[in-house]
Every structure is written in structure tokens, then in C-alpha cells.
């Protein structure tokens, strides 16, 4: 058994299927730098190691979680400011 058996290579179509996306979406994300370039090419065919695809997926999940946390923190800060403004307006009416 070789190392290649543990980390199989995936074609662009297999990567798109693995990530449950279209080939067009995969190509767009590669051009934008949101997905890693192929590990190697043979002629016009591109191949990624499975570990590269999994690492890219984990990085996207972590980035999405960080974005969600940042959005939630902003929402909580905005809600706190709105409560302060509301309370100040009520005090002015009293």
C-alpha cells in the first residue's frame, strides 16, 4: 500500500461533485482565489488531492463561522445602542 492509496486524486468534475457544486462555480472560485489551484495537471486535466479539497472545505467553514460571529456581535451592539436611545427618549418624555 502506498501513500497515494490514502490520499486519492480527484478530477475537477469529482471535486465539484464532492463539494456539491457546479464545475462553473468551482472554476470561478479558483479564479477568485477562494479555492486552491490544482495540485497537478496532466495536459489540460486538473487534479486535486483529497486532502487539499478537505482542507479548503474546512477553511471555508471556519471563515463562515467567523463571519457569522462577527455579524452577531454587530447585531448585539446595534441592539444595545437602540435600547439606550429608546430609554433616553422615554426619559425625555417624563
CATH of the domain at 48: 1.10.1660.10
User: Cβ atoms within 10 A of the Cβ of 30, count?
Assistant: 16
- C-alpha to C-alpha distance for 89 and 5, rounded to whole angstroms: 68
In a domain, 92, yes or no: no
Could you read off the pLDDT of 11-54 as tens digits, one per residue? 999 999 999 999 999 999 999 999 999 999 999 999 999 999 99
In a domain, 56, yes or no: yes
The SS3 of residue 11 is strand
Partner residues linked to 30 by β-bridges: none
Tally the domains of the chain: 1
pLDDT of residue 47: 97
In a domain, 84, yes or no: no
In a domain, 90, yes or no: no
In a domain, 49, yes or no: yes
* CB-CB contact of 19 with 50 (8 Å): no
The SS3 of residue 54 is helix
In a domain, 91, yes or no: no
Read off the pTM.
0.71
In a domain, 76, yes or no: no
Written as nine digits, the cell of 83 is 435600547
In a domain, 51, yes or no: yes
In terms of residue numbers, what domain contains 31? 3-66
Amino acid at each position: 500500500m502506498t501513500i497515494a492509496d490514502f490520499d486519492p486524486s480527484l478530477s475537477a468534475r469529482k471535486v465539484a461533485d464532492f463539494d456539491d457544486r457546479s464545475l462553473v462555480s468551482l472554476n470561478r472560485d479558483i479564479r477568485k482565489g477562494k479555492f486552491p489551484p490544482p495540485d497537478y495537471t496532466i495536459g489540460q486535466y486538473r487534479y486535486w488531492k483529497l486532502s487539499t479539497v478537505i482542507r479548503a472545505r474546512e477553511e471555508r467553514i471556519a471563515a463562515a463561522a467567523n463571519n457569522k460571529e462577527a455579524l452577531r456581535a454587530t447585531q448585539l451592539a446595534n441592539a444595545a445602542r437602540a435600547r439606550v436611545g429608546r430609554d433616553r427618549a422615554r426619559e425625555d418624555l417624563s
